[in-house]
Amino acid sequence: MKSRIASLTLFCLAMAALPAMASTIYENGPINGTVDAWTINFGWVIGDTFTVSSGNSTITGISFGAWLFPGDTLTSVQVALTSEPDDGGISYFDQTVNFTASGCFVNQYGFDVCTETGSFNGPSLSNGTYWLDLQNAIVPSGDPVYWDENSGIRCHSPGCPSQTWIAEGTIPSEAFTIEGNSNDTTPEPSSITLLGSGILGLTVLLRRKLL
């Protein structure tokens, strides 16, 4: 009886210490698709801030809103995660990432507006504010690629709406989401209380079943 309860207790403690599953680290609101968008190829760079607020987190991917000429398919974008805009300060990640489109629709200007999603083995970032820079977007046709402007409307993450950098000055922020895994395995006080209550309830249940 005692060994069985001890085993179940250890199991519950181990489960409580497991890292969180992949989740949204930061989101700057949904795609607008009808107002404006900004070029992220032909030498143009757009940078938006994002905030990590869930503890030390490993970045595993991003999605963003893209405007494409009809028939174009985005293949890759240079993605940089830095401490300052325009690849400035500390560089935590700077690689070409492949993207896949979903949820496309045609806006009033005739552009295909798509959610573009890319996954990568990114850095572990502690709580704080960072910059996401997008540039050198590639489509086989060689056409311009644009990042959807949504001004951060209906965003929910701490630190939103995002601040934005562009060489010409300040513009409204863009539609994007940062995905990742939380590496903080220390249970919060409320979680410890809930775990203790569960173990106590499990012990009582086992005793009842054995009587």
Q: Which of 49, 7, 8 is nearest to 28 (CA)?
A: 49
Across 125-156, b (16+ Cβ under 10 Å) vs e yields: beeeebbbbbbbbbbeeeebbbbbbbbbeebe
Distances (CA, A) of 97 to 23, 43, 78, 104: 19, 17, 6, 20
Could you report the per-residue pLDDT of 13-37, keeping only the tens digit for each? 444 444 456 799 999 999 999 999 9
Could you report the per-residue pLDDT of 83-106, keeping only the tens digit for each? 999 888 999 999 999 999 999 999
Could you report the per-residue pLDDT of 105-149, keeping only the tens digit for each? 999 999 999 999 999 999 999 999 999 999 999 999 999 999 999
Quick check: 186 pLDDT over 70? no
pTM score over 0.95:
no
> What's the fold here for domain 20-184?
Jelly Rolls (2.60.120)
Please check whether residue 100 is in contact with residue 116, taking contact to mean a CB–CB distance below 8 angstroms: yes
Give domain limits for the chain.
1-18+186-211, 20-184
